[in-house]
Structure formats: structure tokens, C-alpha cells
Amino acid sequence: MPQYRKSYNGTFYFVLNMTNVFGTTTVKKNIFHFAHVIPNPPDGLTFVNTTSESIYLRWTIPTAMKYFRTGLKHRIMYRSEYEQQNWQIGGIVFSYKDSVDVYFNLTGLQYAYAQYEICVSMQSAIANQKDHTLWSKNSTITLRTAGKIPASPPLTNIGSFEVVHFSDNRANVYVYWQQVQDKMKNGGNFGYHIEVEGSSSNILPVNITDSYAKYENLNLINSYTFHIWSKNDLGKSESKSVVIVPKSPESVDQPVFFRKTEYGDGKYELFWESPNKQQHTTTKSYTIFWCTYYEDRPYQCAGYMDWEEIPGDQTYYTTTQKVPEDKIIQFAISANSDTSSSGMVWACTIVYNKTVAKLQDVLVTAVNSTAIRLIWRLDCLDGIESVQSYIIYYCSIPNDGGTSCAEPERKLEIYGDSKTSSVDVNGLEPYQRYKVAISVVNRNNRESLRSDYKIITTLDDPPDPPASLSIVDVTNSTIFIKWERPNIANGRLKNYKIKSTNTITGVTIEHVVDSEQYNLTSLKCYVTYKISVEACTNKCSRSSDTLSVRTRGGYPTKVLWPISPFKNSTDMVVEWKPPEEPNGNCDTYEVKLERTGNVSTFNVTDTIYIIKDCDADEYGTFTISVRAVNVFDDKAFFGPWSDELVLSCKSSSNLWMWSFTPLLPLFLILVIYLIRRLTLRYKKMQNVEVILPPGLEPSLEEAAMIISKNDVKPQNKNKRRCGEGNLHEMKKLLNHKTSNKNLKGCKSDIQNSSPSDSNNKLVYDKVQKAPPCMTFQECLLNAEDTADLSESSSKPTSSIPSNYCVLGVDVVPHKNINPNYVSVEALQSQLHKSKSDLPQVSGLSSGYVQAGDLNKISNANS
């Protein structure tokens, strides 16, 4: 179209002359050109912004129409993805000449997060609105409105739950709701959120679908309140729906014998009976539920659910429900009171003109490696009131996922009645997929349709042991083994367990591997290992055949330091122990004998080496070391040399001396010990008290006369006092002097004793005050000085003392006389050598003997 000039007024004047044989007719017609212009469609249709309820649009007027004098009219039309058949006009706007861009806010959109198709067309502003042919072609855009949280939760009913008991108070619970329609979801990632109220809030569903949530192992001693929201990626709905599952004592009894009859063309008739007894409540109403899904019971319906409530005195219901050919309708019913419900009971199907219905609610309740347990429930009793038997059909199917029988189908018939509700199928293979179905036979031998097949997999069992365990390679520290998979796996093999036992230490080490080969490492040289393998699924097999394999030999370890006991005076013996880790047979030992400038080696097979003629001149001081040698395949493996042993072989005497040198410290210790023992015994014998019979013990005066003061050496001032140590001896001596004992044949009347007894007292008193002294003799001298024996009775008399015994014979000196004996002559000789101020002993003949402590004192000072 040529661009309009601004000066052009747009009016065309037409004169039409029409002529024929009858004459001429002239017609004049004025046409305003701008009212009949059909523009091009808008350019660049797009959106500026969107909300959940509006779309802000923008487009551009084509260049040829920018200066269109009369202006343009713009029409906006739209439709949503949920209303494909109905176009709606969103609005009409005008633009005038010199306009370039046009904006329009499309509001009042019904669906959030919905896809809308929008068309924009143009027309001359003065065109006839009724003439739709004057509109331009459409510019089209498709876009989605913004999302928002769901407007409402899913709908529920007082009875929209199912309780499936498996014990008295334990059950699985299904909570149902009506799916939210797609046009109300308002956002992406749509789903449902369900919570349990109160102290049971930690209970979570094991499965949530678009129609129900499943909870397992609930204790129906308690009631449960479920809160349900719809949610999308922007959040969950503000409001929620509530379903209450009452505790068992408060629930309404379920309707019984609920069944449906299908007449075709979507027509169904439902029948049921009221509960046999009403313990606590009265049925106020029934709720009939129907759910459209691809499979019939016992599969849970995950499709769209709807319901209708009917009075409590009604026991049948007729409905027509048109469904697609690929879907079926499942029906359920619940009995309701004002505050509680029985929950849903699903109907079984009786096909019109068929006498035996298909068995429903078949469940697999137990599975092990070789058996399964099936249970079922007889709801539809029309035609099967007189049950004769049940037939179980089953076969193995491929483990790769197929459902066709991998073997001829097997059949197990059990006889029973309507109370029979379970059967065990035995003799199955471990870890094998099976499909199983059940049919019912009545007394007229009419068999029902088979129930829907159940697909199950038996559990693992221990597999067969691994086969063909063999050795691939052996070194001195590794053994490489391989084996084959078990002939029968009885499950999915997870790993293999290898056991290797060191036959010397008895230690067993386990290795877990995934493949059918393994290299055992870090083994000991030249050691026999017992090796076996187990295959494991969830359980492990028996051990394979055990292999006994010895690792190859290698270098022996170091020989311990040799020792050298003697064999005789000329030969020297060197012995050693085998290495702690021989790593072979230690076939030979190499002995190295090293002297100054000369090294010799010898091979022996025993752990002993004898050096002959050790005292020969060719030997002297030398060293010996030993190493073990293993020989494998004509190859020698030398161990390290032992520590050197230094020996000397100069002469036999030197050899003996050298041999006993290690014993010298022990001998010295023994000598020191014996000397100490003798010293202690001698000191102990010095303190032995000699007690003489009365009349044989000397007086203090006589004892003092024997001991010379010159014999007493000055003592250290730190010596003990007489009163501390020697006082006891003094007391004993005085006690003997004053005792009443008499010796037969002696003159010893103490009552008539001489006045010298008072001197004894003086001596005793002086002893108590004596200065420090060393010996008993010093104490006696102190006592003598104190008593002033020279002025009183200390002077000797010529008479024999009364306390001396007259033996009646002279003492003849003997060669073997006791060395402790001291004769009177010796005492007199000693006294002549003493100081002159000591009293002299006179009148003592050789027929008298000094006895007792006197001898002891004399010898102690000699």
C-alpha cells in the first residue's frame, strides 16, 4: 500500500454513465476512501508484564499506517487453555495519526498460571463495525499468566478414608480427597501436603498420590486428625481440609455385602446391607464414592474422585457414569453418623448375566526364598455363596521385567468354603519373579474369573559355593587366585569373601571383593596358606574347596648372635639359632672366620661349627659371623651376616681364663657377700653374754687390777656414754656379785661378804654418770677412779678371795689349750708392764684359774 500523503483528503468522486438503446443514465457516487482501508496486522506484538489476572501488551502500528488520517481501531481477543472453544474480546482501543506504539492492559483473566492465546487486529477508525471483513489479519502471541498459591484445598468427605486391618488394633490407613482441577492449581510443581494433628505429628505417609495418602501401622486405639492442603511452588493454600479417622471403639460399623452390577453403557447398580449391629452410633447417611481409573480393585484408585450422600435408610443406588473406554469406575461406600464414619468399603463387580464374580482384594502378605502367602477377602457373594474350592495359578517370569510365563503355568487347587481366606504356595525358586492369580469354584463347578495377577519376587537364599577355585601365580609374598561364579546364584551376587589362613600362626584374614579373581598380597615367605572363597547375596554360601598353597622362598633374615661353649681343651664350639624368619629351608649356613689380613668362609648344614686345634699358633684373636642361605631353583639367597663374635685361641690356659672371665664379676659378688655375712656373725658373737656360776666370776676390784689404764686409748667425744651401752653389762656384773646363788664346794656367803660391796655401789653410781667411753674396760677404770679404790678395800690381801673356787688341782698348760684362755702368769706379766699406781695382785698361785669375763676382757684388749 502506498504511503498516504498528509494533504490527501481521502474522498473519491465517481460519475457512472450507463447507456443502452433506450437511453442514458448517470449515477454519481462519493466514496470516503479511509473508511474502506484494510490495514496490515500490527507489528511486534509482545507483553510488557504479567500478573496472575492480567497481561500488559504492546505492539507497533505498521509504517504505512503511521499517518493514517482518520486513525485506527485495535481489537484484542483471547482464550485460555481451559476454554479452547470460546474467544473472548478483551477490549478495543483507538490510535490516531502520528501514533507509533500502542499499549493495552488485558485484565480480568480468570486463571492464574494459565496459558493464554492473544490476537490483535486493526481496522480504520471510521469503518463499519458490523463489517468484519474490514479487519486486518491477526497478530498472535501465546503466554502464561503469573502464578499464585492455590485458591482452595482438595475437597474431602467425612468418610473419605479406608482402614485396612492386619491385627486387632493395627491397620494401614488411606486418606482420600478429590483432586483439584488443573485450572485451579495456580502454579507449577503442584501437589498435596498432609499432616497429622497433635502428638502424632511425627507420623509421615509412606506414599502420597494425586488422590490419597497411605499411612502404615497406625494404632487405632487412638484417633487421628489429618489436615490436607494443596500446594504449588509459591506455597500452600490458605485453607485446609480435615479428615478424622476415629478410634476403633468410636467408629461406625461398615456396610456389608457391598457390590456393584454393571449393565453396560455406563449404567451401574449398587447394593449393600446395613451393619449387623450398631454398638454406639446410628447410621445417618451413606456416602457413595466413585473414582475413575485405569485399573479395577484391588488397585488403589489414583484418579479423580467424586461422591454423593444419600439417606441412611437406603440400601441401593443407581447411576450412569460415562467414562472413556480405557478407564473403569471403582465404587465405594461409607456409613456415617453425625460425628464419625466407618470409612470406605470398596465394591466388587458382578458382570450382568455372569454367575461367579472375579475375586477381589488378593494380597501377598509374606514372602521368603521358597514360598509366598496369599490372602483374600470375599465381598461379592452373589453366585459364590457355596464355595467349593480355590485355584491358584502361578508361573515364573523373566527377571528382566517381562510378564509372560517362562515355564508352563502351574495350578494349585485347595478345597474350602467362603471362610477360607489364605493359602501358602511352596516349592518356589529363590530370587525368582512369579505372577500369581486366584479363582473361585462353586459347587456347580463354575469357576470365576481369575483375580488380577500379582507380581512378586522371592527372597535371596545362600548361593552355591564358587566353582573351579585355582591358582594363577605365586610369588614369595603374593598368591593370585581366580574362580567361577556359582552354578546357582539364588539371588543377586553382591560380593565374594576370601579367607586365607597362615598354617604357622593360625591367623585367618578375610578379603571382600566384587570380581572373580584376586591377588593376595603381603604374605609371608615360604609359608603354606589355606585359601577358600564364599559367594554372598544377602547370605553367604558354603566355602569352596580349600587350596593349600605355599609361597615361594626368599632371603632369610639375620642369624642371632652366635655363642661359643667349650667342647674340650683344644677345640672350640660355635653355635647359633636359625633366623626368626627363615623364608626357606635354610639349606646351608655360611661361617666367616676373620683374622688379621685373612678371611675364611665355610659352609655347614647344621647350626654348629667346631674349630679344631684352637690352641695352635695359627689362631689367635679372631671374629666369627654366620649367615643363612636358601637355595631355590639353583639360585642362592644369602641372608645378612650376624653380629661378630670375638674369640681368642692362643693357648688352652688363656682359653680357660677367657672362658671364665665372664664369671669373675659373679665370683667377686659372692666373696663380698660371704665376708659381710661373717662380719655380721662375728659382731653378733661378741655380744654373747657368758654367765658364770657364783664364785667363779671376778670382783670389780680384781677386774680393774688386770686392766691397765695405759691400755685405754682416748676416745672420740661422739662415742656413746657408758651408761648407754655398757651400763647393762655393769648391771649384770653387779647382779652376779650380789646374787644369793651358791656353787657347791665354794665359799660364797653374800650376807657376810666383805665391805667391798659398798665399793660396788660406788662403781655402779659412777658408771651412771660416766663420760663417753668406748669399751667396758674404760667404764671399769672410770668406776675405779671414782671409788678411790687405793684408799679403801682395793688393796689386795694375801688371802684367797672368798668368791674363788678351789679346784684342788694345778692347771697344767696344754698345747691345745683354748686360745681364749689367759693364765695368771700372763696376767701378772701384763700387770708388771702397767702403771705403778695399779694395785698389784699377790698371793695367787698357779692352782687358781681366772675365769669368766676376765678372759674375754683380756683377749679383747690383746
> Which CATH number does 251-353 carry?
2.60.40.10
Helices (H) and strands (E) in the chain, counts: 8, 46
Check whether 229 has a pLDDT greater than 90. Answer: yes
Residues 6+ apart with CB under 8 A from 522: 477
**What is the reported pLDDT for 441?**
85
Residues 6+ apart with CB under 8 A from 44: 58, 59, 60
Q: What pTM, to 2 d.p., does this model score?
A: 0.45
Task: Please tell us whether the domain made up of 572-650 is placed in CATH 2.60.40.10.
Answer: yes
Q: Report the range of poorest mean pLDDT among 441-455, 628-642, 667-681.
A: 441-455
Residue extent(s) of CATH 2.60.40.10 domains in the chain = 34-144, 151-248, 251-353, 364-457, 467-550, 572-650
Phi and psi torsions of 660, nearest 5°: -90, -5
CA distance 61 to 121: 11
**What is the reported pLDDT for 169?**
81
Domain 151-248 CATH class label: mainly beta
pLDDT digits (tens, 9 = 90+) for 353-375: 555 556 767 888 899 989 999 99
Q: How far apart are the first and last CA of the chain?
A: 166
Average pLDDT, the chain: 78
pLDDT digits (tens, 9 = 90+) for 267-308: 888 988 887 654 445 788 999 999 998 887 777 888 999 999
Check whether 450 has a pLDDT greater than 80. Answer: yes
**Contact of 372 with 366, CB cutoff 8 Å:** yes
**What is the reported pLDDT for 737?**
42
Q: Give residue 786's Cα distance to chain centre.
A: 96
Between these two residues, 781 and 454, which has the higher pLDDT value? 454
CA angle 374, 251, 376 (to 5 degrees): 10
Q: Report the range of poorest mean pLDDT among 178-192, 591-605, 657-671, 787-801.
A: 787-801
Over range 227-243, report the average pLDDT. Answer: 95
Q: Report the range of poorest mean pLDDT among 19-23, 31-35, 421-425, 737-741.
A: 737-741
Whole-number CA gyration radius for the chain: 66
Check whether 145 has a pLDDT greater than 90. Answer: yes
pLDDT bin (cut points 50, 70, 90) of residue 424 is very high
Share of the chain above pLDDT 90, in %: 37
pLDDT digits (tens, 9 = 90+) for 162-221: 998 887 788 999 999 999 999 999 999 999 999 999 876 688 999 999 999 999 999 989
Residue among 216, 222, 225, 226 at smallest CA distance from 248 = 222
CA distance 383 to 204: 42
pLDDT digits (tens, 9 = 90+) for 757-771: 444 444 444 444 444
**What is the reported pLDDT for 67?**
80
CA distance 514 to 712: 103
The helix/strand/coil state of 568 is coil
Between these two residues, 166 and 42, which has the higher pLDDT value? 42
Between these two residues, 753 and 28, which has the higher pLDDT value? 28
Over range 650-655, report the average pLDDT. Answer: 51
The helix/strand/coil state of 163 is strand
546 is written with which cell numbers? 580349600
How many Cβ atoms from other residues are within 10 Å of residue 351's Cβ? 14
**What is the reported pLDDT for 391?**
93
pLDDT digits (tens, 9 = 90+) for 810-842: 444 444 444 444 444 544 444 444 444 434 433
pLDDT bin (cut points 50, 70, 90) of residue 709 is very low
Over range 503-513, report the average pLDDT. Answer: 92
Check whether 583 has a pLDDT greater than 60. Answer: yes
**What is the reported pLDDT for 225?**
94
**What is the reported pLDDT for 755?**
39
Between these two residues, 697 and 265, which has the higher pLDDT value? 265
Check whether 530 has a pLDDT greater than 90. Answer: yes
Check whether 802 has a pLDDT greater than 70. Answer: no
The topology (CATH level 3) of 34-144 is: Immunoglobulin-like (2.60.40)
pLDDT bin (cut points 50, 70, 90) of residue 648 is confident
Check whether 447 has a pLDDT greater than 50. Answer: yes
**What is the reported pLDDT for 380?**
59
**What is the reported pLDDT for 177?**
96
In sequence order, the β-bridge partners of residue 335 are 286
Share of the chain above pLDDT 70, in %: 72
35 is written with which cell numbers? 473508511
**What is the reported pLDDT for 734?**
43
**What is the reported pLDDT for 695?**
63
Over range 64-81, report the average pLDDT. Answer: 90
The topology (CATH level 3) of 467-550 is: Immunoglobulin-like (2.60.40)
CATH of 364-457, one of 3.40.50.300, 3.30.70.980, 3.40.250.10, 2.60.40.10: 2.60.40.10
**Contact of 177 with 212, CB cutoff 8 Å:** yes
Order of strands across the sheet that contains 212-219 = 161-165, 170-176, 212-219, 207-208
Using a 10 angstrom Cβ sphere, with 0-12 exposed, 13-18 middle and 19 or more buried, the burial of residue 229 is buried
CA distance 145 to 107: 11
Over range 571-591, report the average pLDDT. Answer: 87
Q: Cis ω on the peptide bond leading into residue 408 (within 30° of 0)?
A: no
pLDDT digits (tens, 9 = 90+) for 388-408: 889 999 999 998 778 889 999
Check whether 662 has a pLDDT greater than 60. Answer: yes
How many Cβ atoms from other residues are within 10 Å of residue 564's Cβ? 19
Antiparallel, parallel or unpaired: β 528-536 and 170-176? unpaired
Residue corresponding to grid cell 684362755: 821
**What is the reported pLDDT for 682?**
82
Check whether 751 has a pLDDT greater than 50. Answer: no
CA distances from 553 to 279, 284, 349, 607, 630 (A): 88, 93, 81, 20, 8
pLDDT bin (cut points 50, 70, 90) of residue 93 is very high
pLDDT digits (tens, 9 = 90+) for 464-486: 999 999 999 999 899 999 999 99
